[in-house]
Structure 1
Protein backbone atom coordinates (compact mmCIF):
# COMPACT_ATOMS: atom_id res chain seq x y z
CA UNK A 1 0.00 0.00 0.00
CA UNK A 2 1.31 3.46 -0.93
CA UNK A 3 0.19 6.30 1.40
CA UNK A 4 -0.47 9.42 -0.68
CA UNK A 5 -1.27 12.97 0.39
CA UNK A 6 -4.92 13.31 -0.63
CA UNK A 7 -7.59 16.00 -0.48
CA UNK A 8 -11.15 16.11 -1.69
CA UNK A 9 -11.86 19.69 -2.74
CA UNK A 10 -15.02 21.19 -4.22
CA UNK A 11 -14.19 23.78 -6.88
CA UNK A 12 -16.09 26.94 -7.78
CA UNK A 13 -17.76 27.23 -4.38
CA UNK A 14 -17.15 28.89 -1.03
CA UNK A 15 -19.14 26.08 0.56
CA UNK A 16 -22.60 27.55 0.03
CA UNK A 17 -23.24 25.65 -3.21
CA UNK A 18 -22.37 22.10 -4.22
CA UNK A 19 -19.29 22.94 -6.28
CA UNK A 20 -17.56 20.32 -8.39
CA UNK A 21 -15.67 17.62 -6.47
CA UNK A 22 -12.05 16.92 -7.37
CA UNK A 23 -9.54 14.55 -5.89
CA UNK A 24 -6.11 16.08 -5.35
CA UNK A 25 -2.89 14.12 -4.87
CA UNK A 26 0.33 16.00 -4.20
CA UNK A 27 3.30 13.85 -5.20
CA UNK A 28 6.69 14.54 -3.70
CA UNK A 29 9.59 14.42 -6.16
CA UNK A 30 10.49 10.96 -4.86
CA UNK A 31 6.95 9.62 -5.40
CA UNK A 32 6.39 8.28 -8.90
CA UNK A 33 3.11 6.73 -10.01
CA UNK A 34 2.60 4.99 -13.33
CA UNK A 35 -0.23 5.99 -15.64
CA UNK A 36 -2.02 2.74 -14.76
CA UNK A 37 -1.76 3.52 -11.04
CA UNK A 38 -3.19 7.00 -11.55
CA UNK A 39 -5.98 5.51 -13.65
CA UNK A 40 -6.63 2.92 -10.93
CA UNK A 41 -7.13 5.70 -8.41
CA UNK A 42 -9.45 7.59 -10.75
CA UNK A 43 -11.50 4.42 -11.19
CA UNK A 44 -11.59 3.65 -7.46
CA UNK A 45 -12.96 7.13 -6.73
CA UNK A 46 -15.81 6.99 -9.27
CA UNK A 47 -18.93 8.57 -7.81
CA UNK A 48 -16.93 10.33 -5.09
CA UNK A 49 -15.07 12.82 -7.27
CA UNK A 50 -15.41 13.52 -10.99
CA UNK A 51 -11.67 13.67 -11.69
CA UNK A 52 -8.43 13.22 -9.77
CA UNK A 53 -5.58 15.67 -10.31
CA UNK A 54 -1.99 14.61 -9.66
CA UNK A 55 0.50 17.41 -8.96
CA UNK A 56 4.28 17.28 -8.92
CA UNK A 57 6.83 20.10 -8.45
CA UNK A 58 8.29 20.67 -11.90
CA UNK A 59 10.88 23.09 -13.33
CA UNK A 60 9.68 26.57 -12.31
CA UNK A 61 6.16 25.50 -11.35
CA UNK A 62 3.99 22.40 -11.17
CA UNK A 63 3.16 19.53 -13.50
CA UNK A 64 -0.46 18.32 -13.53
CA UNK A 65 -2.15 15.18 -14.87
CA UNK A 66 -5.84 14.32 -14.64
CA UNK A 67 -7.83 11.08 -14.61
CA UNK A 68 -11.55 10.36 -14.59
CA UNK A 69 -12.94 6.90 -13.82
CA UNK A 70 -12.79 6.12 -17.55
CA UNK A 71 -9.57 7.61 -18.92
CA UNK A 72 -6.89 10.25 -18.73
CA UNK A 73 -8.34 13.73 -19.27
CA UNK A 74 -6.39 16.18 -21.41
CA UNK A 75 -7.26 19.15 -19.18
CA UNK A 76 -9.54 19.47 -16.16
CA UNK A 77 -10.42 23.03 -15.23
CA UNK A 78 -12.22 22.42 -11.95
CA UNK A 79 -9.44 20.17 -10.61
CA UNK A 80 -6.90 22.86 -11.53
CA UNK A 81 -8.92 25.49 -9.66
CA UNK A 82 -9.19 23.20 -6.62
CA UNK A 83 -5.49 22.35 -6.62
CA UNK A 84 -4.14 25.86 -7.18
CA UNK A 85 -6.54 27.48 -4.71
CA UNK A 86 -5.36 25.03 -2.06
CA UNK A 87 -1.67 25.39 -2.91
CA UNK A 88 -1.83 29.19 -2.85
CA UNK A 89 -3.86 29.28 0.38
CA UNK A 90 -1.86 26.68 2.33
CA UNK A 91 1.72 27.15 1.10
CA UNK A 92 3.37 30.27 2.63
CA UNK A 93 6.12 30.26 -0.01
CA UNK A 94 3.47 30.87 -2.71
CA UNK A 95 1.47 33.61 -0.98
CA UNK A 96 3.36 36.44 -2.65
CA UNK A 97 3.60 34.88 -6.10
CA UNK A 98 1.21 36.51 -8.53
CA UNK A 99 1.79 34.07 -11.42
CA UNK A 100 2.55 30.34 -11.16
CA UNK A 101 3.57 28.21 -14.13
CA UNK A 102 1.60 25.03 -14.84
CA UNK A 103 2.63 22.24 -17.18
CA UNK A 104 -0.06 19.96 -18.61
CA UNK A 105 -0.04 17.52 -21.53
CA UNK A 106 -1.05 20.30 -23.92
CA UNK A 107 1.78 22.61 -22.85
CA UNK A 108 2.43 25.47 -20.45
CA UNK A 109 -0.32 27.50 -18.76
CA UNK A 110 -0.41 30.10 -16.00
CA UNK A 111 -2.28 30.46 -12.73
CA UNK A 112 -2.95 33.96 -11.40
CA UNK A 113 -3.14 34.56 -7.67
CA UNK A 114 -6.03 36.86 -6.66
CA UNK A 115 -6.78 35.32 -3.26
CA UNK A 116 -6.05 38.55 -1.38
CA UNK A 117 -8.37 40.76 -3.45
CA UNK A 118 -11.01 38.47 -5.03
CA UNK A 119 -10.72 35.24 -3.01
CA UNK A 120 -10.10 33.53 -6.35
CA UNK A 121 -7.46 31.91 -8.49
CA UNK A 122 -7.63 32.34 -12.26
CA UNK A 123 -6.30 29.76 -14.70
CA UNK A 124 -5.30 30.45 -18.29
CA UNK A 125 -7.24 28.20 -20.65
CA UNK A 126 -5.39 26.55 -23.53
CA UNK A 127 -5.44 28.31 -26.88
CA UNK A 128 -8.82 27.78 -28.59
CA UNK A 129 -9.37 25.56 -31.59
CA UNK A 130 -12.53 26.29 -33.57
CA UNK A 131 -13.59 22.88 -34.84
CA UNK A 132 -15.64 21.69 -37.77
CA UNK A 133 -18.71 19.70 -36.74
CA UNK A 134 -21.48 17.91 -38.59
CA UNK A 135 -23.86 18.21 -35.62
CA UNK A 136 -27.29 19.53 -36.62
CA UNK A 137 -29.98 21.20 -34.55
CA UNK A 138 -32.22 18.17 -35.10
CA UNK A 139 -29.62 15.62 -34.01
CA UNK A 140 -28.47 17.45 -30.87
CA UNK A 141 -32.01 18.24 -29.71
CA UNK A 142 -32.84 14.56 -30.15
CA UNK A 143 -29.70 13.50 -28.25
CA UNK A 144 -30.56 15.88 -25.39
CA UNK A 145 -34.21 14.81 -25.34
CA UNK A 146 -35.66 18.27 -25.98
CA UNK A 147 -37.87 19.78 -28.65
CA UNK A 148 -35.95 21.52 -31.41
CA UNK A 149 -38.08 24.62 -30.75
CA UNK A 150 -36.23 25.05 -27.42
CA UNK A 151 -32.99 25.89 -29.25
CA UNK A 152 -32.13 29.57 -29.55
CA UNK A 153 -31.42 30.12 -33.25
CA UNK A 154 -29.95 33.57 -32.60
CA UNK A 155 -26.75 31.72 -31.68
CA UNK A 156 -24.90 29.03 -33.65
CA UNK A 157 -24.24 25.49 -32.51
CA UNK A 158 -20.46 25.31 -32.50
CA UNK A 159 -17.59 23.05 -31.43
CA UNK A 160 -14.60 24.68 -29.72
CA UNK A 161 -11.66 23.13 -27.94
CA UNK A 162 -10.68 25.27 -24.96
CA UNK A 163 -8.98 22.37 -23.19
CA UNK A 164 -11.65 19.82 -24.09
CA UNK A 165 -13.64 19.42 -27.32
CA UNK A 166 -16.81 21.26 -26.34
CA UNK A 167 -20.06 21.35 -28.28
CA UNK A 168 -21.89 24.59 -27.43
CA UNK A 169 -25.67 24.54 -27.70
CA UNK A 170 -27.91 27.60 -27.12
CA UNK A 171 -31.39 27.30 -25.61
CA UNK A 172 -34.03 29.97 -25.20
CA UNK A 173 -34.95 29.98 -21.52
CA UNK A 174 -33.78 28.98 -18.07
CA UNK A 175 -36.68 26.53 -17.91
CA UNK A 176 -35.46 24.91 -21.13
CA UNK A 177 -31.95 24.65 -19.71
CA UNK A 178 -33.05 23.11 -16.41
CA UNK A 179 -35.42 20.62 -18.05
CA UNK A 180 -32.68 18.73 -19.92
CA UNK A 181 -32.02 15.23 -18.56
CA UNK A 182 -30.62 13.07 -21.38
CA UNK A 183 -29.96 9.35 -21.22
CA UNK A 184 -26.32 8.95 -20.19
CA UNK A 185 -25.40 5.93 -22.31
CA UNK A 186 -27.08 7.32 -25.44
CA UNK A 187 -25.44 10.72 -25.01
CA UNK A 188 -22.05 9.07 -24.47
CA UNK A 189 -22.43 7.25 -27.79
CA UNK A 190 -23.44 10.53 -29.47
CA UNK A 191 -20.29 12.21 -28.12
CA UNK A 192 -18.06 9.37 -29.29
CA UNK A 193 -19.58 9.31 -32.78
CA UNK A 194 -19.23 13.09 -33.16
CA UNK A 195 -15.77 13.33 -31.53
CA UNK A 196 -17.02 15.51 -28.66
CA UNK A 197 -15.65 15.52 -25.11
CA UNK A 198 -18.38 17.55 -23.42
CA UNK A 199 -21.63 19.35 -24.31
CA UNK A 200 -22.32 22.82 -22.88
CA UNK A 201 -25.88 24.17 -22.88
CA UNK A 202 -26.39 27.88 -22.27
CA UNK A 203 -29.11 30.49 -21.99
CA UNK A 204 -29.11 34.25 -21.47
CA UNK A 205 -31.82 33.89 -18.79
CA UNK A 206 -30.36 33.59 -15.29
CA UNK A 207 -31.67 33.22 -11.76
CA UNK A 208 -29.14 35.61 -10.21
CA UNK A 209 -29.48 39.13 -11.62
CA UNK A 210 -25.69 39.60 -11.37
CA UNK A 211 -24.95 36.60 -13.61
CA UNK A 212 -24.71 36.97 -17.38
CA UNK A 213 -25.46 33.39 -18.50
CA UNK A 214 -26.61 30.04 -17.10
CA UNK A 215 -24.76 26.96 -18.33
CA UNK A 216 -24.94 23.21 -17.83
CA UNK A 217 -22.30 20.74 -18.98
CA UNK A 218 -22.75 17.05 -19.83
CA UNK A 219 -19.70 14.77 -19.81
CA UNK A 220 -20.81 11.11 -20.18
CA UNK A 221 -17.59 10.26 -22.03
CA UNK A 222 -15.77 10.60 -18.71
CA UNK A 223 -18.04 8.32 -16.70
CA UNK A 224 -20.72 10.67 -15.35
CA UNK A 225 -23.66 12.53 -16.86
CA UNK A 226 -23.26 16.11 -15.62
CA UNK A 227 -20.31 18.26 -14.59
CA UNK A 228 -21.70 20.80 -12.11
CA UNK A 229 -18.99 23.49 -12.56
CA UNK A 230 -16.38 23.53 -15.32
CA UNK A 231 -13.34 25.56 -16.26
CA UNK A 232 -12.59 24.12 -19.69
CA UNK A 233 -16.22 24.09 -20.84
CA UNK A 234 -16.92 27.64 -19.76
CA UNK A 235 -13.61 28.77 -21.26
CA UNK A 236 -14.73 27.33 -24.60
CA UNK A 237 -17.96 29.26 -24.10
CA UNK A 238 -15.95 32.43 -23.42
CA UNK A 239 -13.99 31.92 -26.65
CA UNK A 240 -17.32 31.32 -28.42
CA UNK A 241 -18.72 34.64 -27.20
CA UNK A 242 -15.45 36.42 -28.01
CA UNK A 243 -15.56 35.14 -31.60
CA UNK A 244 -19.13 36.42 -31.88
CA UNK A 245 -18.11 39.83 -30.50
CA UNK A 246 -20.28 39.31 -27.41
CA UNK A 247 -17.75 38.64 -24.65
CA UNK A 248 -17.42 41.14 -21.82
CA UNK A 249 -14.66 41.12 -19.25
CA UNK A 250 -15.48 39.89 -15.74
CA UNK A 251 -18.18 37.61 -17.10
CA UNK A 252 -20.16 35.75 -14.43
CA UNK A 253 -21.48 32.31 -15.31
CA UNK A 254 -23.92 30.47 -13.07
CA UNK A 255 -23.74 26.72 -13.66
CA UNK A 256 -25.86 23.96 -12.18
CA UNK A 257 -29.06 22.01 -12.56
CA UNK A 258 -30.10 23.65 -9.28
CA UNK A 259 -32.14 26.72 -10.18
CA UNK A 260 -31.62 28.76 -7.01
CA UNK A 261 -28.17 27.70 -5.78
CA UNK A 262 -25.81 27.57 -8.74
CA UNK A 263 -22.03 27.39 -8.76
CA UNK A 264 -20.20 30.49 -9.99
CA UNK A 265 -17.48 30.50 -12.66
CA UNK A 266 -15.82 33.79 -13.57
CA UNK A 267 -14.22 34.57 -16.94
CA UNK A 268 -11.66 37.22 -17.86
CA UNK A 269 -9.64 37.88 -20.99
CA UNK A 270 -5.86 38.11 -21.02
CA UNK A 271 -3.63 39.41 -23.81
CA UNK A 272 -0.56 37.25 -24.25
CA UNK A 273 2.12 37.66 -26.91
CA UNK A 274 0.06 36.01 -29.65
CA UNK A 275 -3.65 36.35 -28.94
CA UNK A 276 -6.48 36.95 -26.51
CA UNK A 277 -6.67 34.10 -24.00
CA UNK A 278 -9.52 33.19 -21.69
CA UNK A 279 -9.00 33.00 -17.93
CA UNK A 280 -11.47 31.11 -15.75
CA UNK A 281 -11.57 31.68 -12.02
CA UNK A 282 -13.17 30.90 -8.71
CA UNK A 283 -12.59 29.69 -5.19
CA UNK A 284 -12.71 26.23 -3.62
CA UNK A 285 -13.61 24.45 -0.39
CA UNK A 286 -11.63 21.57 1.12
CA UNK A 287 -13.88 18.78 2.39
CA UNK A 288 -11.36 16.02 3.22
CA UNK A 289 -7.65 16.23 4.03
CA UNK A 290 -5.78 13.01 4.75
CA UNK A 291 -4.08 9.96 3.23
CA UNK A 292 -5.13 7.72 0.37
CA UNK A 293 -3.70 4.22 0.51
CA UNK A 294 -3.23 2.97 -3.03
CA UNK A 295 -2.64 -0.74 -3.42
CA UNK A 296 0.33 -1.43 -5.69
Structure 2
Protein backbone atom coordinates (compact mmCIF):
# COMPACT_ATOMS: atom_id res chain seq x y z
CA UNK A 1 0.00 0.00 0.00
CA UNK A 2 1.28 3.45 -0.87
CA UNK A 3 2.16 5.86 1.96
CA UNK A 4 -0.66 8.27 1.10
CA UNK A 5 -3.28 5.52 1.21
CA UNK A 6 -1.98 4.37 4.62
CA UNK A 7 -2.18 7.88 6.04
CA UNK A 8 -5.74 8.26 4.72
CA UNK A 9 -6.77 4.94 6.28
CA UNK A 10 -5.37 5.96 9.67
CA UNK A 11 -7.11 9.32 9.50
CA UNK A 12 -10.41 7.64 8.58
CA UNK A 13 -10.07 5.19 11.47
CA UNK A 14 -9.38 8.00 13.94
CA UNK A 15 -12.35 9.98 12.61
CA UNK A 16 -14.64 6.94 12.91
CA UNK A 17 -13.47 6.31 16.47
CA UNK A 18 -13.99 9.97 17.37
CA UNK A 19 -17.53 9.95 15.98
CA UNK A 20 -18.32 6.81 17.98
CA UNK A 21 -17.03 8.36 21.20
CA UNK A 22 -19.01 11.53 20.50
CA UNK A 23 -22.19 9.51 19.94
CA UNK A 24 -21.65 7.63 23.20
CA UNK A 25 -21.22 10.94 25.05
CA UNK A 26 -24.43 12.33 23.56
CA UNK A 27 -26.35 9.17 24.47
CA UNK A 28 -24.97 9.28 28.04
CA UNK A 29 -25.92 12.96 28.37
CA UNK A 30 -29.45 12.33 27.13
CA UNK A 31 -29.88 9.43 29.54
CA UNK A 32 -28.78 11.49 32.55
CA UNK A 33 -31.51 13.27 34.57
CA UNK A 34 -31.73 16.98 33.94
CA UNK A 35 -30.42 18.83 36.96
CA UNK A 36 -32.15 22.17 37.37
CA UNK A 37 -31.19 24.66 40.01
CA UNK A 38 -33.99 25.06 42.55
CA UNK A 39 -34.56 28.41 44.25
CA UNK A 40 -34.95 28.32 48.04
CA UNK A 41 -35.85 31.33 50.16
CA UNK A 42 -35.50 31.85 53.90
CA UNK A 43 -38.17 33.96 55.57
CA UNK A 44 -38.51 35.22 59.13
CA UNK A 45 -42.20 34.77 60.02
CA UNK A 46 -44.28 36.56 62.65
CA UNK A 47 -41.98 39.56 62.61
CA UNK A 48 -41.54 42.76 60.60
CA UNK A 49 -37.76 42.83 60.99
CA UNK A 50 -34.99 40.37 60.08
CA UNK A 51 -33.43 38.06 62.66
CA UNK A 52 -36.56 37.83 64.81
CA UNK A 53 -39.69 35.69 64.68
CA UNK A 54 -39.42 32.15 63.36
CA UNK A 55 -37.25 31.38 60.31
CA UNK A 56 -38.52 28.96 57.67
CA UNK A 57 -37.13 27.88 54.33
CA UNK A 58 -39.55 27.88 51.40
CA UNK A 59 -39.06 25.96 48.16
CA UNK A 60 -41.56 26.47 45.31
CA UNK A 61 -40.80 23.34 43.32
CA UNK A 62 -40.30 23.48 39.57
CA UNK A 63 -40.99 19.72 39.41
CA UNK A 64 -42.15 17.03 41.87
CA UNK A 65 -39.50 15.68 44.24
CA UNK A 66 -39.50 12.55 46.37
CA UNK A 67 -39.76 12.44 50.16
CA UNK A 68 -36.10 11.55 50.67
CA UNK A 69 -34.95 14.61 48.71
CA UNK A 70 -37.26 16.93 50.65
CA UNK A 71 -36.17 15.47 53.98
CA UNK A 72 -32.51 15.89 53.01
CA UNK A 73 -33.09 19.53 52.05
CA UNK A 74 -34.82 20.16 55.39
CA UNK A 75 -31.89 18.57 57.20
CA UNK A 76 -29.45 20.71 55.21
CA UNK A 77 -31.39 23.90 56.01
CA UNK A 78 -31.52 22.86 59.69
CA UNK A 79 -34.45 25.15 60.53
CA UNK A 80 -37.48 24.14 62.57
CA UNK A 81 -39.41 23.69 59.30
CA UNK A 82 -38.82 23.78 55.56
CA UNK A 83 -41.88 24.15 53.32
CA UNK A 84 -42.23 22.63 49.85
CA UNK A 85 -44.88 23.91 47.45
CA UNK A 86 -45.93 22.30 44.19
CA UNK A 87 -48.19 24.42 41.94
CA UNK A 88 -51.63 23.01 41.10
CA UNK A 89 -54.44 24.35 38.90
CA UNK A 90 -56.18 26.12 41.79
CA UNK A 91 -53.50 26.42 44.45
CA UNK A 92 -50.44 24.67 45.82
CA UNK A 93 -49.70 21.34 47.45
CA UNK A 94 -47.85 22.21 50.66
CA UNK A 95 -45.73 19.94 52.84
CA UNK A 96 -43.62 20.74 55.90
CA UNK A 97 -40.47 18.96 57.10
CA UNK A 98 -38.43 19.44 60.26
CA UNK A 99 -34.79 18.30 60.05
CA UNK A 100 -35.97 14.83 61.13
CA UNK A 101 -39.64 14.25 60.15
CA UNK A 102 -42.58 15.45 58.09
CA UNK A 103 -45.28 17.22 60.16
CA UNK A 104 -49.04 17.59 59.67
CA UNK A 105 -49.33 21.33 60.32
CA UNK A 106 -46.99 24.30 60.59
CA UNK A 107 -48.18 27.87 60.97
CA UNK A 108 -45.03 29.91 60.57
CA UNK A 109 -43.87 27.99 57.47
CA UNK A 110 -47.33 28.49 55.93
CA UNK A 111 -47.08 32.21 56.64
CA UNK A 112 -43.60 32.20 55.08
CA UNK A 113 -44.91 30.28 52.06
CA UNK A 114 -47.69 32.80 51.45
CA UNK A 115 -45.18 35.64 51.77
CA UNK A 116 -42.95 34.02 49.13
CA UNK A 117 -45.83 33.44 46.71
CA UNK A 118 -46.77 37.13 46.74
CA UNK A 119 -43.31 38.68 47.04
CA UNK A 120 -41.77 36.49 44.32
CA UNK A 121 -44.63 36.95 41.84
CA UNK A 122 -46.07 33.42 41.97
CA UNK A 123 -49.44 34.87 43.00
CA UNK A 124 -50.95 38.33 42.59
CA UNK A 125 -51.47 40.18 45.92
CA UNK A 126 -55.26 40.35 45.61
CA UNK A 127 -55.59 36.57 45.24
CA UNK A 128 -56.08 34.18 48.14
CA UNK A 129 -53.35 31.57 48.56
CA UNK A 130 -54.83 28.07 48.72
CA UNK A 131 -52.78 25.25 50.22
CA UNK A 132 -53.64 21.54 50.05
CA UNK A 133 -52.07 19.86 53.06
CA UNK A 134 -52.24 16.90 55.43
CA UNK A 135 -54.51 19.10 57.58
CA UNK A 136 -56.91 19.86 54.75
CA UNK A 137 -57.36 23.06 52.78
CA UNK A 138 -55.63 26.08 54.35
CA UNK A 139 -55.86 29.62 53.01
CA UNK A 140 -53.94 32.86 53.41
CA UNK A 141 -54.88 36.42 52.53
CA UNK A 142 -52.69 39.49 52.26
CA UNK A 143 -54.08 42.35 54.36
CA UNK A 144 -51.75 45.32 54.04
CA UNK A 145 -48.52 44.40 55.80
CA UNK A 146 -50.13 41.43 57.55
CA UNK A 147 -50.91 37.92 56.33
CA UNK A 148 -53.99 36.17 57.73
CA UNK A 149 -54.05 32.37 57.88
CA UNK A 150 -57.23 30.30 58.17
CA UNK A 151 -56.45 27.22 60.28
CA UNK A 152 -58.45 24.52 62.10
CA UNK A 153 -59.19 25.06 65.79
CA UNK A 154 -57.71 22.42 68.13
CA UNK A 155 -59.53 21.86 71.43
CA UNK A 156 -57.78 20.39 74.45
CA UNK A 157 -59.34 18.24 77.15
CA UNK A 158 -58.40 18.45 80.81
CA UNK A 159 -55.73 15.87 81.55
CA UNK A 160 -53.64 14.55 84.40
CA UNK A 161 -50.04 15.65 84.09
CA UNK A 162 -47.70 12.67 83.70
CA UNK A 163 -44.75 12.56 86.06
CA UNK A 164 -42.33 13.24 83.19
CA UNK A 165 -44.12 16.51 82.35
CA UNK A 166 -44.16 17.67 85.96
CA UNK A 167 -40.47 16.92 86.43
CA UNK A 168 -39.48 18.36 83.04
CA UNK A 169 -41.04 21.77 83.72
CA UNK A 170 -40.50 21.90 87.49
CA UNK A 171 -43.17 24.53 88.25
CA UNK A 172 -46.73 24.61 89.60
CA UNK A 173 -49.48 24.13 87.00
CA UNK A 174 -52.79 26.04 86.94
CA UNK A 175 -54.18 23.82 84.19
CA UNK A 176 -53.13 20.84 82.11
CA UNK A 177 -54.91 19.88 78.90
CA UNK A 178 -54.10 17.56 76.05
CA UNK A 179 -54.98 16.78 72.44
CA UNK A 180 -53.29 14.70 69.75
CA UNK A 181 -50.86 17.55 69.07
CA UNK A 182 -49.61 18.76 72.44
CA UNK A 183 -49.97 19.12 76.16
CA UNK A 184 -51.20 22.60 77.05
CA UNK A 185 -50.00 23.87 80.43
CA UNK A 186 -51.04 27.15 82.04
CA UNK A 187 -48.65 28.48 84.68
CA UNK A 188 -49.14 31.16 87.33
CA UNK A 189 -47.44 34.13 85.66
CA UNK A 190 -45.67 35.45 82.59
CA UNK A 191 -42.41 35.54 84.54
CA UNK A 192 -42.65 31.82 85.25
CA UNK A 193 -43.37 31.07 81.59
CA UNK A 194 -40.48 33.22 80.39
CA UNK A 195 -37.97 31.76 82.85
CA UNK A 196 -38.71 28.08 82.28
CA UNK A 197 -35.71 25.85 81.62
CA UNK A 198 -37.24 22.50 80.70
CA UNK A 199 -35.58 19.12 80.77
CA UNK A 200 -35.82 18.30 77.06
CA UNK A 201 -34.80 14.69 77.55
CA UNK A 202 -37.89 14.12 79.70
CA UNK A 203 -40.14 16.09 77.36
CA UNK A 204 -39.05 13.87 74.49
CA UNK A 205 -40.52 10.83 76.27
CA UNK A 206 -44.07 12.26 76.27
CA UNK A 207 -46.73 10.85 73.95
CA UNK A 208 -47.52 14.18 72.26
CA UNK A 209 -45.42 15.98 69.66
CA UNK A 210 -44.93 19.02 71.88
CA UNK A 211 -45.75 21.01 75.00
CA UNK A 212 -47.36 24.46 75.03
CA UNK A 213 -46.74 26.55 78.14
CA UNK A 214 -48.87 29.67 78.53
CA UNK A 215 -49.97 32.36 80.97
CA UNK A 216 -51.86 35.62 81.01
CA UNK A 217 -49.66 38.55 80.04
CA UNK A 218 -48.49 40.79 82.88
CA UNK A 219 -49.03 44.00 80.89
CA UNK A 220 -51.82 45.32 78.67
CA UNK A 221 -49.75 45.04 75.49
CA UNK A 222 -50.66 41.36 75.02
CA UNK A 223 -53.50 39.12 76.17
CA UNK A 224 -51.40 36.03 76.77
CA UNK A 225 -47.87 34.71 76.25
CA UNK A 226 -46.67 31.23 75.39
CA UNK A 227 -43.71 29.01 74.64
CA UNK A 228 -43.59 25.77 72.66
CA UNK A 229 -41.24 22.84 73.17
CA UNK A 230 -41.03 19.91 70.74
CA UNK A 231 -37.86 17.83 71.19
CA UNK A 232 -39.78 14.77 69.98
CA UNK A 233 -39.71 16.19 66.42
CA UNK A 234 -36.21 17.64 66.71
CA UNK A 235 -37.09 21.14 67.98
CA UNK A 236 -36.22 21.87 71.60
CA UNK A 237 -37.96 25.25 71.48
CA UNK A 238 -39.79 26.70 68.50
CA UNK A 239 -39.42 30.50 68.23
CA UNK A 240 -43.02 31.24 67.14
CA UNK A 241 -45.60 28.52 66.55
CA UNK A 242 -48.75 29.18 64.56
CA UNK A 243 -50.16 25.69 65.10
CA UNK A 244 -49.84 26.06 68.90
CA UNK A 245 -52.14 29.09 68.67
CA UNK A 246 -54.80 26.82 67.16
CA UNK A 247 -54.92 25.29 70.67
CA UNK A 248 -54.41 28.54 72.56
CA UNK A 249 -57.24 30.40 70.80
CA UNK A 250 -60.15 28.26 72.10
CA UNK A 251 -58.47 27.88 75.49
CA UNK A 252 -58.10 31.62 76.12
CA UNK A 253 -61.44 32.39 74.48
CA UNK A 254 -63.15 30.38 77.24
CA UNK A 255 -61.12 31.95 80.03
CA UNK A 256 -61.07 35.58 78.91
CA UNK A 257 -64.56 35.68 77.41
CA UNK A 258 -63.54 37.11 74.05
CA UNK A 259 -62.50 35.90 70.62
CA UNK A 260 -59.75 38.27 69.49
CA UNK A 261 -56.30 38.45 71.03
CA UNK A 262 -52.82 39.83 70.66
CA UNK A 263 -50.44 37.06 71.64
CA UNK A 264 -46.70 37.00 72.19
CA UNK A 265 -44.51 33.91 71.99
CA UNK A 266 -41.77 34.50 74.53
CA UNK A 267 -38.87 32.63 72.96
CA UNK A 268 -35.41 34.16 72.59
CA UNK A 269 -36.33 35.50 69.13
CA UNK A 270 -39.95 36.26 70.03
CA UNK A 271 -42.91 37.05 67.81
CA UNK A 272 -46.37 38.63 67.77
CA UNK A 273 -49.45 36.71 66.61
CA UNK A 274 -52.87 38.27 66.12
CA UNK A 275 -55.45 35.61 66.93
CA UNK A 276 -59.18 35.41 66.13
CA UNK A 277 -61.22 32.42 67.28
CA UNK A 278 -64.26 31.57 65.14
CA UNK A 279 -65.76 28.24 66.18
CA UNK A 280 -64.01 25.44 64.33
CA UNK A 281 -61.53 27.84 62.69
CA UNK A 282 -58.74 30.04 64.01
CA UNK A 283 -57.46 33.06 62.10
CA UNK A 284 -53.80 33.84 62.72
CA UNK A 285 -52.19 37.02 61.44
CA UNK A 286 -48.51 37.85 61.28
CA UNK A 287 -45.90 39.68 59.29
CA UNK A 288 -42.95 38.22 57.39
CA UNK A 289 -39.67 39.34 55.83
CA UNK A 290 -37.30 37.67 53.36
CA UNK A 291 -33.76 37.34 54.71
CA UNK A 292 -32.02 34.97 52.29
CA UNK A 293 -32.38 33.78 48.70
CA UNK A 294 -30.30 30.98 47.20
CA UNK A 295 -30.18 27.99 44.88
CA UNK A 296 -30.02 24.27 45.53
CA UNK A 297 -27.56 22.71 43.10
Fold agreement, TM-score > 0.5: yes
2:176 pairs with 1:157: yes
Give, in angstroms, the shift of residue 276 of structure 1: 3.7
The residue that corresponds to 2:31 in the other structure is: none
Alignment of 1:196-211 (within 5 A): 196-206=208-218, 209-211=220-222
Determine the C-alpha separation between the residues in 2 that align with 1:139 and 1:19: 29
SS of 2:193's partner is helix
Equivalent residue in structure 1 for 2:141, among 98, 112, 117: 112
Asked if the contact 1:160/1:240 (under 8 Å) is kept, the reply is no
Equivalent residue in structure 2 for 1:8, among 26, 42, 59: 42
Equivalent residue in structure 1 for 2:283, among 261, 270, 279: 279
Determine the C-alpha separation between the residues in 2 that align with 1:158 and 1:284: 31
Alignment of 1:218-233 (within 5 A): 218-233=229-244
Give, in angstroms, the shift of residue 141 of structure 1: 2.6
More helix by share: 2
CA RMSD of aligned residues (A): 2.2
2:256 pairs with 1:246: yes
Superimposed CA distance per residue, residues 95-148 of structure 1 (whole angstroms, 9 cap, x where no aligned partner): 122x3321101211221221x2xx111111124354575534x5523122x233
2:66 pairs with 1:55: no
Give, in angstroms, the shift of residue 245 of structure 1: 5.2
Give, in angstroms, the shift of residue 246 of structure 1: 2.9
Counterparts in 2 of 1:19 and 1:107: CA distance versus 1, 3 Å: same
Determine the C-alpha separation between the residues in 1 that align with 2:160 and 2:189: 25
SS of 1:125's partner is strand
2:171 pairs with 1:147: yes
Equivalent residue in structure 2 for 1:82, among 112, 115, 136: 112
Give, in angstroms, the shift of residue 217 of structure 1: 0.7
Structure with more relative contact order (C-alpha pairs < 8 Å, separation 6 or more) = 1
Equivalent residue in structure 2 for 1:266, among 252, 274, 280: 274
Determine the C-alpha separation between the residues in 1 that align with 2:130 and 2:139: 5
SS of 1:140's partner is helix
Counterparts in 2 of 1:210 and 1:16: CA distance versus 1, 3 Å: farther
The residue that corresponds to 2:18 in the other structure is: none
Give, in angstroms, the shift of residue 70 of structure 1: 1.2
TM-score for both structures, normalised by structure 1: 0.81
Give, in angstroms, the shift of residue 55 of structure 1: 0.7
Ranges in structure 2 where 5+ consecutive residues have no aligned partner: 1-34
Q: State the structure with more CA Rg.
A: 2
Determine the C-alpha separation between the residues in 1 that align with 2:260 and 2:129: 21
